[in-house]
Amino acid sequence: MLQFKITDSEFKLIRDFIYDHAGINLSDEKKTLVTSRLSKRLRHYSLNSFKEYFDLMIASPKDGEQQVAVDLLTTNETYFFREPKHFAFLEKEVLPNWKGRGPLRVWSAASSTGEEAYSIAMLLDDMLGNRPWEIFGSDISSRVLKSAQQGHYIQNRIDGIPKEYLRKYCLKGTGDHEGTLLIDSSLRKKVRFAPVNLKRPLGNVGEFDIIFLRNVLIYFDIETKRQIIRQLVEKMHPDGYLFIGHSESLKGIHDGLETVMPTVYQKI
């Protein structure tokens, strides 16, 4: 198979594009990753260089090849009940003490393929009984949102789901669907997914009691992080909670938030 090489100036074009568009900060070490992820598009269009691909992509509509490039350049790794301490904190501290009158609103703000949003949904359904709740999942990648909406996963990716929840909220595939699992429709109905680019104004998403913003801040520089956190805090109810990933930090940029425990913040 034809192997493509990316020049420094081509890498810079792509790096500037994804930074301007998504806030994602690609270091020089990501050259190999960019080459391998975009090479298939050069083959698809029978192009000879990344410059040709860049020109084609920039000339295309935002929801055309530009979106394909964003889908390919984002890293979407996720799994059910990732970072279990956060779920334990929700279960033991947040949900039993929640006094809100309307529905409890939770936002999985970089949801990837939906495992995070459905993990939260299982916990809320189990803990809140008849009290109303809703979850909004969003991401910049339209490809991952499509699979999030389907709620259909391959069996070997479901390790983190507690056995009781597997029985209660997941349908095991049979026949053609052997080896897969479908999130029960009663849960899927309460989880809505839509595209949101955190780098842009957030639009009318409403206000939230809990926001999960996990394992996405690592891709941003400090200025972008600051801008995103400022926007998200505006969308939180007073006393609302913000969760970030365990390898992430809000050092110096958590205005309007106080630390409850490492990686968990509450709006002041």
Ligand X SMILES: C[S@@+](CC[C@H](N)C(=O)[O-])C[C@H]1O[C@@H](n2cnc3c(N)ncnc32)[C@H](O)[C@@H]1O
Long-range own/partner contacts, residues 165-170 (CB < 8 A, 24 or more apart): 165/122, 165/126, 168/122, 168/126, 169/118, 169/121, 169/122, 169/125
Report how far residue 141's alpha carbon sits from residue 217's, in angstroms, rounded to the nearest whole number.
Answer: 16
Q: Which is nearer to ligand X, 137 or 240 (CB)?
A: 137
Q: Which is nearer to ligand X, 67 or 215 (CB)?
A: 215
Q: Which is nearer to ligand X, 13 or 202 (CB)?
A: 202
Task: Return the closest-CA partner of residue 216 out of 70, 108, 142, 131.
Answer: 108
User: Minimum distance from CB of 121 to ligand X (Å)?
Assistant: 14
Report how far residue 46's alpha carbon sits from residue 107's, in angstroms, rounded to the nearest whole number.
Answer: 41
3-state secondary structure of 263: coil
User: Minimum distance from CB of 107 to ligand X (Å)?
Assistant: 11
Give the Cβ contact number of residue 16 at 10 Å.
Answer: 12
Q: Which is nearer to ligand X, 105 or 214 (CB)?
A: 214
Active site residue 37: yes
Q: Which is nearer to ligand X, 4 or 67 (CB)?
A: 67
Task: Return the closest-CA partner of residue 126 out of 161, 184, 94, 169.
Answer: 169
User: Minimum distance from CB of 174 to ligand X (Å)?
Assistant: 28
Burial of 19 (0-12, 13-18, 19+ CB in 10 A): middle
Catalytic residue from among 71, 105, 139, 209: 139
Active site residue 63: no
User: Minimum distance from CB of 17 to ligand X (Å)?
Assistant: 13
Task: Return the closest-CA partner of residue 169 out of 178, 177, 158, 157.
Answer: 158
Report how far residue 179's alpha carbon sits from residue 51's, in angstroms, rounded to the nearest whole number.
Answer: 42
User: Minimum distance from CB of 119 to ligand X (Å)?
Assistant: 9
3-state secondary structure of 262: coil
What is the binding site for ligand X (CB under 6 A)? 22-24, 74-78, 82, 110, 112, 116, 139-141, 144, 197-199, 214-216, 219, 245
Active centre residues (catalytic): 37, 139
